[in-house]
Amino acid sequence: MGRLGVTLRVFIGRLILMSRRRRLDDELRDEVGLHIELRRQALIDDGMDPDAAEHESRRMFGNATAIREETRDMWGFPSMDTLVQDIRYGARLLRRSPTVTAASIVSLAIGIGASAGVFTLADAMLLRPLAVHAPEELLVFQWRSGPTYPYGSLSGYSWGDDTGESSTSFPLQALQQTRARAQDAIDVFGFADLYQVNLSIGAAAELAEATAVSGNYFGVLGVSATHGRLLLDSDDRDDAPPATVISDSLWKRRFDGAPAAVGRTLVVNGVAFTVVGIAPASFHGTGQVGSSPDVFVALSTAAQVRRNTEAPTNPNYWWVLMMGRLKPGSDAERARERVDLILKQTVHAARPEISDTDLPRVQALPGAHGQVQVRDGMREPLKMMSIVVAIVLLVACANVANLLLARGRARARELSVRIALGAPRRRIIRQLLTEGVVLAACGSAFGLLAARWVAGALMPAIANGWEPLTVTTGVNFRLVGFVAGLASVCVLLFALIPALRATDTSLMAGLHEAGRGSASSPRRRGLSATLVVSQITLSMVLVATALLLVRSVRQLQQVDLGFDPGRILTFRLDPGLNGYPAERVFDIYSNILERLRAAPGVEGATLSSHTLISNSANIILAARTDEPMIDRGSPARGAFTRSHRAWRLTVDSHFFTTMGIALEQGRTFDGRDTAASQPVAIVNYALARQLFNTDDVIGRRFRTESMSGAPAYEIVGVSRNALYTSLRDSTTPTMYVSYRQRSPGAMTFEIRTAGDPAAFVGSAREIIQSVDRSVPLFKVQTQEEQVAASVNRERLFATLAAWLGIVALVLSAIGLYALLAYTVTLRTGEIGIRMALGAGRGEVRWMIVRQSLRVALGGLALGVVASIAGTELLRSLLFNVEPGDLITLALAAGLILVVTLSAGYVPARRASQVDPLSALRAE
């Protein structure tokens, strides 16, 4: 039998024995009894008298109790028994000092809860793989080309600079070719985000997320339907009847989870689809993290749903995302080479003018988590949050360590006695560590409870604010494992050092020292002081962070918008999704505007292509008519782009009066400006100066370059600079154009009301319904809410940092207080002598205050250095305040100084009130 076999066998045997303890105990007693009885009989048979035989049989057996004890130890795990004992003992001791215990548990719960909350987010965003079969076999494809775009138009994520362009979108042909020609290396599938669609089931319309997928999508992913079937290749054909798979959440929301939903019809952007199946609840597609499509349709229907003019098979229209599952025995590089070759051939055939070096190079990324772009954007805020909560956790640990140190001192006598009585040091350290574990376990339990709530509260800080984010946050084994690991680290941090310290025999003067409390041991106080210094250092970083963020949010809130956001209700409409022609959309819009303006309590109503301060915009290039446009791919393109960017907002003629943007020259749009007449524009001063270097631009003309051609505009008006996309972009060169001169897409309606704008929502809904029942309102909110929401991330970080800063500061103050109070107790005798020798109360007070000052200043000095370095990480969140800003640092330092000195004052006062006589008598 191998050694491992024996060990395992012993282990299992022990487990079995442990479970049958009582019976075994009885049996052992019987066995021992029989033994002694038989021996006695034998002795009597040998001629011994019964009394002596009774005695001798027991003597020969030995100490029956000890032997039974020894045997019993084998039934189960002696170390576990001691552990249970330790836990009971520890819990009893912890109950005996409820203040210390409660303070420790609360500290740990805050530290661990905050960390667990951030971990929950990180887990949901970064760690959790797609809920599909063997996600680790999946690959995501993207490409990078030279500066000449290989595509004509693109739908999806793209990013790049002067040296090249990257994207995850591919032409449909690349997908089809890869499916046909790379089967030996990889099973590729494709999908495309259809973004928000107008979804009608029966009479009720709503906005939903939709995704188009290739016929093999679900099959390759290994997802199966909970009801009905998923989409197949036979659905992904031009002649196939439109079929759709809906999400579990839509199914529950709109069909009450009834299996009869399969076979029902729903209308997506005016196209009728038959529901063929329900996807599992855990499946949220393969798109960006946080996206959660409600409707899956076949790629062959995408063009109909999308209602754009691009032919889906046009090799210059890139709109399909590609992923794949590696074939057994293949590897990522082989698959990449195949896709790379196919894409290059496709591009070369469609655009022979592109040089070989500029052709896109395909990259294959691990696909277990789906697409990566949004996830990458979340790393930064998550990293920042992690740092902040780690600081809080450290402060909390330092605090608990300090509390335990203080209690260790109080227990010095008990521990000394136990060591003197022969308890091994290891045993006592284990006992103290167990107490730490009990504390950490309680803290973790509360922390786990708080985690979900913390995660929910922090969620808006990582969302980018303009895309919906659906994430399930729950307790899972990764979170529990993380918290357990964290708690273990905490125990080592806060319990091990005090335990080693408390049992250090060179310091174990406990028996005589603890009783008298005069000989202060500088090493112990040194450790406490170090802990307090580090707490103050960390608090300083947090307080400085909080102040910087708070100041920056205040700065953001005081930004001059250039328009008046008060009493404005906004919502968006997109009737075009129903497949209405442009004329009908115009009619709906002007009808709605007319009725809104006539409604009671409305001071003005208008519309614009984008909601102001919503981080979305239509950015184009604008140049004077005498300037040549620099083409894409030219080396000078980058510089030209930077100096000719213009933000275009499509609006209605009432926009300026309704929003309160001063139109300082010229006129607004009117009936003269139609689709057939000369395109006109109103520009703000920023664009006027960027184009013509003067404010006097009425009547001048400029050209634009955008995806949809390059019309030349005549300037008919000049407006004051008003903010467009965000509070941070103070002067965006902006051109306003009339919606009547552009194809009408989705629009934001802005209504200025006399009273509370939120109270007008019902009336607005009725008005829209009276014009067209199948046009849903979405993104309903007031303009002020939108402005506030645009600095959500900043405000959340500020709030988080402020709260945690306060927590850290309070914890540090408690630490300092405990340290000084202890010092005063230890030095009572010394203080008595000093006072007896003529020291004044003021001097004594100063002595203690000096000590707190020393600790506080030490912490502050380190804290300033750490803050200057640390707040650099905040740069992206700050506005009009520099990291390491001196005024902020001074404020933070002042605040900490005040708090720490207050914490030190009470012990100092107590010291000064020492009665020399009684102090000396106690000596």
Partner 1 sequence: MGKKKSDRQELLPGTLDMLILKALTRDVMHGYGIADHIRQMSDEVLQVEEGSLYPALQRLQLQGLIASEWGHSINNRRARYYRLTPAGRRQLGESESSFSRLVEAITRVMRPA
Closest by CA position to 704, among listed 816, 593, 629, 653: 629
Report the nearest approach of partner 1 to the CB of residue 4 (Å): 13
Report the nearest approach of partner 1 to the CB of residue 228 (Å): 56
What letter represents residue 508's amino acid? M
**How long, in residues, is the chain?**
923
Closer residue to partner 1 in complex, CB, 39/336 = 39
Closer residue to partner 1 in complex, CB, 15/636 = 15
Report the nearest approach of partner 1 to the CB of residue 50 (Å): 13
Closer residue to partner 1 in complex, CB, 19/902 = 19
Indicate left, alpha or beta for 490 from its phi (over 0: left) and psi (-120 to 50: alpha). alpha
C-alpha torsion angle, residues 153, 155, 161, 162 (rounded to 10): 0
Find the helix packing angle between 522-557 and 886-912, rounded to 10°: 140
Report the nearest approach of partner 1 to the CB of residue 77 (Å): 12
Closest by CA position to 368, among listed 136, 128, 133: 136
- The HSE-up count of residue 291 (CA atoms within 13 Å, CB side) is 26
Report the nearest approach of partner 1 to the CB of residue 74 (Å): 5
Q: Are 611 and 808 contacting, i.e. CB atoms less than 8 angstroms apart?
A: no
Residues near 741 by beta carbon (within 8 Å), at least 6 away in sequence? 673, 674, 675, 677, 679, 680
Report the nearest approach of partner 1 to the CB of residue 10 (Å): 5
- The HSE-up count of residue 160 (CA atoms within 13 Å, CB side) is 23
Closer residue to partner 1 in complex, CB, 35/637 = 35
What letter represents residue 153's amino acid? S
Closer residue to partner 1 in complex, CB, 69/843 = 69
Closest by CA position to 191, among listed 241, 231, 250: 231
What letter represents residue 829's amino acid? G
The total of other beta-carbon atoms located within 10 Å of residue 44's CB is 15
Report the nearest approach of partner 1 to the CB of residue 142 (Å): 59
What's the token pair of residue 531? 């802990």
Closest by CA position to 623, among listed 604, 611, 641, 638: 641
Residues near 42 by beta carbon (within 8 Å), at least 6 away in sequence? none
With b for 16 or more beta-carbon neighbours within 10 A and e for fewer, the 817-833 pattern comes to bbbbbbbbebbbbebbe
Q: Are 292 and 285 contacting, i.e. CB atoms less than 8 angstroms apart?
A: yes
Report the nearest approach of partner 1 to the CB of residue 430 (Å): 25
The residues that bridge with 714 in the sheet, in sequence order, are: 680, 701
Report the nearest approach of partner 1 to the CB of residue 476 (Å): 38
Report the nearest approach of partner 1 to the CB of residue 64 (Å): 6
Closer residue to partner 1 in complex, CB, 34/922 = 34
Q: Are 836 and 920 contacting, i.e. CB atoms less than 8 angstroms apart?
A: yes
Report the nearest approach of partner 1 to the CB of residue 25 (Å): 12
Closer residue to partner 1 in complex, CB, 19/634 = 19
- How far apart (Å, rounded) are the C-alpha atoms in residues 887 and 478? 42
Closer residue to partner 1 in complex, CB, 6/898 = 6
- How far apart (Å, rounded) are the C-alpha atoms in residues 511 and 895? 42
Report the nearest approach of partner 1 to the CB of residue 802 (Å): 60
Closer residue to partner 1 in complex, CB, 48/350 = 48
Report the nearest approach of partner 1 to the CB of residue 7 (Å): 10
Closer residue to partner 1 in complex, CB, 67/480 = 67
Secondary structure of residue 813 in the 3-state scheme: helix
Closer residue to partner 1 in complex, CB, 67/582 = 67
Report the nearest approach of partner 1 to the CB of residue 80 (Å): 16
Q: Are 715 and 699 contacting, i.e. CB atoms less than 8 angstroms apart?
A: yes
- How far apart (Å, rounded) are the C-alpha atoms in residues 888 and 897? 14
Closer residue to partner 1 in complex, CB, 37/81 = 37
Closer residue to partner 1 in complex, CB, 66/707 = 66
Cα distances (Å, whole numbers) of residue 537 to 38, 808, 813? 75, 10, 12
- How far apart (Å, rounded) are the C-alpha atoms in residues 908 and 844? 8
Q: Are 195 and 210 contacting, i.e. CB atoms less than 8 angstroms apart?
A: yes
Cα distances (Å, whole numbers) of residue 217 to 213, 214, 368? 6, 5, 15
Closer residue to partner 1 in complex, CB, 65/558 = 65
Closer residue to partner 1 in complex, CB, 3/426 = 3
Report the nearest approach of partner 1 to the CB of residue 85 (Å): 21
Residues near 460 by beta carbon (within 8 Å), at least 6 away in sequence? 792, 793, 796
Residues at the contact surface with partner 1, assessed by CB under 8 A:
1, 6, 9-10, 13-14, 17, 27-28, 30-32, 34-35, 37-39, 42-43, 48, 52, 56, 60-64, 66-68, 70-71, 74
